[in-house]
Amino acid sequence: MKISADDRASPPDDLHKQAWVWLRLLNSGEVNSWDLEGFQRWLSADPAHKAAFHCARQQWAVLEPVAAAVRRRHPDAVPAQERESRSNLRARRAFLGAAVGAAAVAGIAVMRPPAGLWPAPGEWGADYRTAKGEQREIDLAGQAKVTLNTQTSVRRQDTGEGVEGIDLLAGEAAIDLSAAAGHRPFVVMAGAGRSQAEAGRFAVRYLDGKVCVTCLEGAVQVAHPMGQRRLATGQQATYADRELGEVKSHVDLRRVSAWRRGELVFDHTRLADVIEEINRYRPGRVMLMNASVRDQPVSGSFYIASLDDAVALLARTFELSGQALPGGFMILS
């Protein structure tokens, strides 16, 4: 990839659009060593480039969680968008190689987001939302206390007589109905299913089109087009749009709720999946470029407040070299 030397003279708006295209490429999952070298050259060409990239990354942090919610609410549209995104990847690299073209293409990308990376303004339907690394507790009309994990979007379900539930658009939420005994059932809609309880505590996680419901205390009824599951304390069920798993018992509840204690706990989890989980909380993005270690198992716990230390430990453990880039990006190879 080649970056024009005339980039230095680009006006601020043009630089901002170039930064967005770079950010899109770095988050595409298809970045290669040539792309990284090109990005570093572009970044070091002028301090204004670093400022533009930092600004774009901040906007991405706000838009991406909502974009994920839109993708999951309209899963049938994602495959076609992904095919279009892949077919345009080479074109995006060409745009970056010719800065004069980046402005026009980035402008189109903002109006018609590639692969649904962010929704149109009219699709921002969440009543509550958390940013990357943020957690938030909300009290819904005294009926339920809902704790939102990082990058979570929810919408209230209100019948006019008070809140009866939430629509989990994306992310993870813990629901506490301990003080709501005797109230009508509280419902959590997520994907193709719904979870319902009258008392107790449960957690719902909705990521990458898959939903995981865990009963922490009491009983939870899970309804899905493929059937129903009744969960007791310590049980868990998962589902996607067209499948419903069997009930899993003896779930490690401390691990499920670790994020509420400020920890991430892994038990023989693939390194690639550990990195993706860290990316949900850590500003920027860690990119694992060494395919030979992607499936290596990881067990242990990390503090959410010290995830850079966790990344450094993983790099040492698997003998990876780490290259830090501006904006919180990290290359492990």
Same domain, 238 and 289: no
| Residue 129: pLDDT over 80 | yes
pLDDT at 18: 80
Q: Tell me if 140 is assigned to some domain.
A: yes
Split at pLDDT 50, 70, 90, the class of 305 is very high
pLDDT at 105: 41
Whole-structure pTM value:
0.68
- Distance of alpha carbon 81 from alpha carbon 116, whole angstroms: 7
Same domain, 135 and 200: yes
Split at pLDDT 50, 70, 90, the class of 271 is very high
Query: For the chain, what is the domain count?
Result: 3
- Distance of alpha carbon 88 from alpha carbon 115, whole angstroms: 11
Q: In CATH, what number is assigned to the domain containing residue 276?
A: 3.55.50.30
Average pLDDT of the residues of the chain: 79
Split at pLDDT 50, 70, 90, the class of 86 is very low
pLDDT at 113: 37
Cβ neighbour number for residue 31 with a 10 Å cutoff: 17
Same domain, 212 and 269: no
Same domain, 269 and 289: yes
- Express each pLDDT in 39-84 by its tens digit: 777 777 778 888 888 887 777 665 665 555 555 555 554 444 444 4
* Cα 314 → chain centroid: 21
Residues 6+ apart with CB under 8 A from 42: 3, 7, 18, 22, 49, 96
- Distance of alpha carbon 285 from alpha carbon 278, whole angstroms: 9
Q: Tell me if 271 is assigned to some domain.
A: yes
Q: What is the mean pLDDT of residues 259-283?
A: 96
Residue with tokens 């749009």: 241
pLDDT at 8: 38
Strands 236-240 and 210-224, bridge-based pairing? antiparallel
pLDDT at 158: 75
Please provide the distance, in angstroms rounded to a whole number, between the alpha carbons at the two ends of the chain: 20
